[in-house]
Structure 1
Amino acid sequence: MKITEISSKKVEALINEMNENDPVVMLNLVRYNSDALYEDSEKYTTCSGAEAYLKRYATAFNAIAANEGITEIKVKYIGDVKGLLCGREDEQWDAIVLVEYPNLAAFRKITESSEYEAKAEPHRKAALQDWRLIATVSLV
């Protein structure tokens, strides 16, 4: 099943049960569309799903974060998936991305902004065939 939407209700519920000062690392499991599928295809030049996500979406996301005054975001790792050693065969991923935020509220501030909806979200939606976004906190 294709999933590419962030649930604001789930984000809010998680914020309410977490320590508000805890840094959070988001695990992104991504499967790209071979070609980015923009709703407004006249507005954007053709590119791969990977380019739409890693270049266009990431650039827009970082600019929005800066505009919101959130500068402590760190991309910890971006990697190509080479093989599934344990897991469901019907869930195949092209890449994983680990991004650290100062807290979950910072992530929410970015992703619920009107600027995100206008400038970043179109690239994410065009880029991704499927996606899992998992919030984690350090155990040690």
Structure 2
Amino acid sequence: MAVDPRGADLKRLVAEEDGQPIVMLNLLRFGSGGVERYAEYLRHFRPFAERVGGQIIYYGLGQPALVAETEQQWDAVLLVRYPNRTAFSTMVRDPDYQRGTHLRTEALVKAVLQPTLEAMNTVWPDGTHT
């Protein structure tokens, strides 16, 4: 199972660039020793994220799910805000950043990496606003 974005994934992400900030949702399942290895990755990752305007807004270890199938439970969640999609793509293409991505790959056995858009001030189908 892929745990890292591929070139085609990044091209699709950037093709949808609209200049809006995104929050990258990371759902993480660790392999043996993965928590420690992922901590090493985060130490490597943070300066590169900050260089492109990214900010870790939450990192937490998962607890037993209240509603989910067993295989849908996650060991950790990471939320990182980026100023736009291009900033994320710029970071992951940086050769110095790429030298440390093996730490993430080695830590994980399964992952979801999904960009999200803020939905504040959204008009819902019933006419209400958030």
Q: Could you say which TM-score interval applies, normalised by the shorter chain?
A: 0.7 to 0.9
1:121 to 101, 104, 108: 101
Deviation of the 1:10 alpha carbon: 2.1
Contact 2:14 2:89 in 1 (8 A): no
Deviation at 1:6, TM superposition (A): 0.7
**Structure 2: stretches of 5+ with no match in the other structure:** 121-130
Match in the other structure for 1:18: 17
What displacement does 1:65 show? 3.8
Which among 69, 72, 81 is matched to residue 62 of structure 2? 81
- RMSD across aligned C-alpha pairs, in angstroms? 1.7
TM-score, with structure 1 as normaliser = 0.76
SS of 1:90 mapped into structure 2:
helix
- Asked if residue 132 in structure 1 is aligned to residue 116 in structure 2, the reply is no
Match of 2:35? Answer: 50
Higher relative contact order (CA 8 A, sep 6+): 1
Q: Percent of aligned pairs with the same residue?
A: 30
Q: Kindly tell me: are residues 9 and 83 of structure 1, through their superposed partners in 2, closer, same or farther at Cα, counting changes over 3 Å? A: same
- Size of the aligned set, in residue pairs, is 120
Aligned residue type for 1:134:
Q
1-structure distance, mates of 2:31, 2:90: 27
Per-residue deviation, residues 81-129 of structure 1 (Å, max 9, x unmatched): 11223333223311111110111111111112211221x2111011112
